Structure 1
Amino acid sequence: MKKIKDFLNPPKVLVLGFATIIIIGALLLMLPIATEDGKGLSFLNALFTATSATCVTGLIVVDTGDTFSTFGELVILALIQIGGLGFMTFATFLFLLLGKKISLKERLLLKEAFNNISIAGLVKLVKRIIIFTVVIEVMGGIILSIRFSFDMELATAIYFGFFHSISNFNNAGFDLMGGFQGLTAYVDDPFVVLTICALITIGGLGFIVMNELYEYRDTQRLSVHSKIVLFTTTVLTVGATLLIFLFEYDNNKTIGPLSEWGKILGSFYQAVTPRTAGSNTLSIGDLTHSTLFLIILLMFIGGGSGSTAGGIKITTFAVLVATLWSQIRGKEDVVLFRRRIVVETILKALTVTMCGMMIVVLVTIILSITEQGHNFILYLFEATSAFGTVGLSMGLTPELTPFGRILIIFTMFAGRLGPLTIAFAITKRRKSQAYRHPKGNIMIG
């Protein structure tokens, strides 16, 4: 029994927990009741869809609105909600409802799940996360339901409104519009665009940031983590909106035919959704190469740590940029918002980024071998989208071979949990060494 406890360290529990949820979801989607034709999905397609939903990615091999019955859509919605908030959040919430005390081991699991520094206040945070989630998703659902009610029956509008609210707050990007068209019909609709962008952005900030913003009236203080997330999110969103507006201004297949206001809304939506919701109001395959490459960069960066988003995370990107700037200026310390970033954090940021780059490069190379007949940018786009748990696609996903689908499944799984979590789950427990090797001088650059 002791060996089992030692074996099941927090990273391994998270990996096994997510894997279990995915398998259960896949089995449910294979049931005849889960699809409109009453035949259910094949195991591979069900596994792909369950992984995409649980890892809040949004890549699909079959169209959600056209293929699944209401039961199947609700299964996907449940997987999105569990995957977005994390199964440990749900388990802790259930324990609290049952009056069970949260043990130290369970607090350590929460710490790992939220990528938090300490275990202090985690149970209180879980309670607030549930409240935040319900309030935000209900508000988004109501606004979208009202807007959709002008285009469809009220009951359908309410269902669509809340489905898209939950999907986008959890940065999943699944939609029910059918025909693989996404939300292109609402490209210049301010109610849909601004509401969904707000849901995506709030979900991508991270629950630690949301909690600090909630307490700001009393504390009048934000941590350096929250300041970095808020500042970098603003810079990336505004900068990407301007660039996409310029890159696509004369593109008649995207925002070219729209009014000036429509061009701004279309550019803004495509600047927000790569980090990392995956829904779209513009045809991804018709975007210019400059916009596609920008989106690839945004997908790789992702959202905030401890959020529903994927990628290497905004804080990782900010630390790397700050490190580069400090080196260029000849400064010994890396400083952000008047706080010195410790070397361990910089090394972790470098490790996460390099692991992410290696995964994306490896998957891109393999896809270019197994899925021949496409432009290289399709493979890079698909690999980055899967790793960043974004869900945007240039149309390659439904055409993937069985091997390609399995590869993308593992990529989405690695992207949701994080390469370091999976590495720590696979490797043995790290031990401190009783000695250090002598220094070695290497020429760099």
Structure 2
Amino acid sequence: MAHILKKRGISPAQILVFGFGGMILIGAFLLSLPIATVSGQPLRFFDALFTATSAVCVTGLSVFNIGATLSLFGQITLLVLIQLGGIGFMTMTSLLYMMIGRRFTLRDRLIIQNSMTQNSLNDSRLQGVVQMTHDIIVVTAIIELCIFFAYSTRFVPLFGVSRGFYYSIFQAVSSFCNSGFDVFGVGTGLQPYLGDPVVYIATMSAMVLGGIGFYVLLDLYQWLHNKHHRLQLHTKTVLSVSSFLVAAGFALFLLFEHNNPLTLGQEDLSIQDKASWALFHSVSSRTAGFAAVPQSDLTPASKILTVIYMFIGASPSGTGGGIKTTTVALMLLFIVSIIRGREDVVIFSRRIDKPVVLRSVAIVALGVLFVFTAIIIVSLIEYTRPITLSDTIYEVVSSFGTVGMTSAVTANFTDASRAVFMILMYGGRVGIFTFTMALAARLENRNTNIRYPKDRIMIG
């Protein structure tokens, strides 16, 4: 598909957009086949399209019970869509190129660079992107294999060899790709198994490793194996911001829920259990969307914090969504620098180029505009139905952040609202990023010879 699009002279950004769209349409077609369901009755194409969009955009929202509705064919189709969505369209295309021995052109390398780094590193160098693609595939395989073995030690004794291995494979991919899907078929996700320390640690490890981004993983690998290698500024920023968000979320969720009888306030819960739940929710609410407790039972304060975390999301070049941790960090530091009267934004004694800082502000502004517009539209659609505003906000931000958490049941929303959710999931995965690349190109390639008269305007 990428080869066909490139022949038509389509830009790298458009190739990424059409590539994800093509995967969604193919997945929707396969999921709408009679063979994809247990009953043999084909899914409505709209429901198949929603599920395929949720899988490719690694969100996890669904209008039916995946494990009870989809056949083995349907579940494997879903698993492939999750894997493709997690590692990215161009990464998988690059793997096919390597398998057939096709050479990578300069245009191929540019598209791969855009798809992997998302312009977050502000690096125009094309050397090494093919090797990086190879490394991403290897790292993905190793991590998912390790998580699979960890899950197997628990799921095989519970479900038998064949089913236990299958559940382990599916959940390993789903956890690392931060999709939030499960195929147990009981409607409770991983909640019954999170009391097991192996399942708990394996799931959190997969979510964290997938969320911090492939670039960080590869940089950490080089740092661990080469004592002369220095961690990149991007890696330091991601690890610092991610650690702060996890720690702050853990403390605040524990504070907000410790007296809630529906969640952490239950008498039979130990301090260790409460701490484990708070830590898990702090990690999952930014990335995968696996829920330790029903989200409808959370206190209003926890729901607001969860919405904020879903909007922030994971880190660039990772398998999670949202506006990204580094984006938020740059925007906040930019605000601090303005308040302090400083011209430069500095992180770890390094000055960040102003175009990159302005891009971060643009991404946050676009994200807020995108989300608020969707909230208004869905609220108008569901005005006469028993859907609360908080449920609408939760679903909208969860879709945009490709998290998959829901305080209501997604199936309770109308098709019109779910169409908005699909646009949000797709936009959260590729839309804001694509617009940012276009904005970056405009900022960097504008004609600086034309300057207009300067004037003043009041603000604040």
Name the TM-score class by shorter chain. over 0.9
Distance in 2 between residues matched to 1:221 and 1:275, nearest whole Å: 28
Q: Secondary structure of 1:124's partner? A: helix
TM superposition score normalised by structure 2? 0.92
1:301 aligns with 2:301: no
Q: Which structure 2 residues correspond to residues 274-285 of structure 1 after superposition, within 5 A?
A: 274-285=285-296
- Asked whether the 8 Å contact 2:57–2:402 carries over to 1, the reply is yes
Q: Decide which moves more: 3-12 or 186-195.
A: 3-12
Candidates 426, 432, 439, aligned match of 2:446: 432
- Asked whether the 8 Å contact 1:187–1:265 carries over to 2, the reply is no
Other-structure match for 1:442 = 457
- Asked whether the 8 Å contact 2:312–2:325 carries over to 1, the reply is yes
Q: Secondary structure of 2:289's partner? A: coil
Other-structure match for 1:54 = 56
Measure how far apart 1:54 and its partner are.
0.4
Distance in 2 between residues matched to 1:264 and 1:406, nearest whole Å: 37
Q: Which residues of structure 2 form unaligned runs of 5+?
A: none
Other-structure match for 1:134 = 141
1:390 aligns with 2:403: yes
Q: Which structure 2 residues correspond to residues 69-80 of structure 1 after superposition, within 5 A?
A: 69-80=71-82
- Asked whether the 8 Å contact 1:184–1:283 carries over to 2, the reply is no
Other-structure match for 1:315 = 326
Other-structure match for 2:177 = 170
Q: Tell me the number of residue pairs that the alignment of Structure 1 and Structure 2 aligns.
A: 443
Candidates 240, 258, 277, aligned match of 1:231: 240
Q: Which structure 2 residues correspond to residues 112-261 of structure 1 after superposition, within 5 A?
A: 112-114=114-116, 115-116=118-119, 117-118=123-124, 119-216=126-223, 217-218=225-226, 219-257=228-266, 258-261=269-272
1:355 aligns with 2:369: no
Q: Decide which moves more: 135-144 or 246-255.
A: 246-255
AA aligned to 2:144 is E
Specify whether residues 200 and 265 from structure 1 end up closer, same or farther in structure 2 by C-alpha distance, changes over 3 A only: same
Q: Which residues of structure 1 form unaligned runs of 5+?
A: none
Q: Decide which moves more: 15-24 or 363-372.
A: 363-372
Other-structure match for 2:422 = 409
AA aligned to 1:416 is R
Q: Secondary structure of 1:151's partner? A: helix
Measure how far apart 1:4 and its partner are.
7.7
Q: Secondary structure of 1:435's partner? A: coil
Measure how far apart 1:427 and its partner are.
13
AA aligned to 1:359 is F
Measure how far apart 1:256 and its partner are.
2.1
Distance in 2 between residues matched to 1:352 and 1:425, nearest whole Å: 12
Measure how far apart 1:440 and its partner are.
2.4
Q: Secondary structure of 1:22's partner? A: helix
TM superposition score normalised by structure 1? 0.96
Deviations 1:393-426 (A, max 9, x none): 1124111211111111111000011414057679
Other-structure match for 1:364 = 375
Distance in 2 between residues matched to 1:152 and 1:312, nearest whole Å: 39
Distance in 1 between residues matched to 2:451 and 2:189, nearest whole Å: 55
Candidates 66, 69, 74, aligned match of 1:67: 69
Deviations 1:323-377 (A, max 9, x none): 1222232222110011111110111001111111011101111111112322211
**Cα RMSD (Å):** 2.0
Deviations 1:62-103 (A, max 9, x none): 111111111101000000001111111011111112221111
Measure how far apart 1:241 and its partner are.
0.7
- Asked whether the 8 Å contact 2:363–2:436 carries over to 1, the reply is no
Specify whether residues 7 and 271 from structure 1 end up closer, same or farther in structure 2 by C-alpha distance, changes over 3 A only: same
AA aligned to 2:179 is A
Distance in 1 between residues matched to 2:357 and 2:21, nearest whole Å: 30
Measure how far apart 1:428 and its partner are.
11
Q: Secondary structure of 1:61's partner? A: coil
AA aligned to 1:198 is S
Candidates 12, 15, 39, aligned match of 2:14: 12
Distance in 2 between residues matched to 1:215 and 1:346, nearest whole Å: 28
Distance in 2 between residues matched to 1:74 and 1:426, nearest whole Å: 38
AA aligned to 1:397 is T
Distance in 1 between residues matched to 2:72 and 2:16, nearest whole Å: 29
Distance in 1 between residues matched to 2:76 and 2:416, nearest whole Å: 28
Q: Secondary structure of 2:159's partner? A: coil
Measure how far apart 1:5 and its partner are.
5.3
Distance in 1 between residues matched to 2:236 and 2:364, nearest whole Å: 21
Q: Secondary structure of 1:210's partner? A: helix
Q: Secondary structure of 1:298's partner? A: helix
1:37 aligns with 2:39: yes
Distance in 2 between residues matched to 1:16 and 1:184, nearest whole Å: 36
Specify whether residues 52 and 425 from structure 1 end up closer, same or farther in structure 2 by C-alpha distance, changes over 3 A only: farther
Distance in 2 between residues matched to 1:341 and 1:426, nearest whole Å: 18
Measure how far apart 1:388 and its partner are.
0.6
Specify whether residues 4 and 124 from structure 1 end up closer, same or farther in structure 2 by C-alpha distance, changes over 3 A only: closer
Measure how far apart 1:12 and its partner are.
0.5
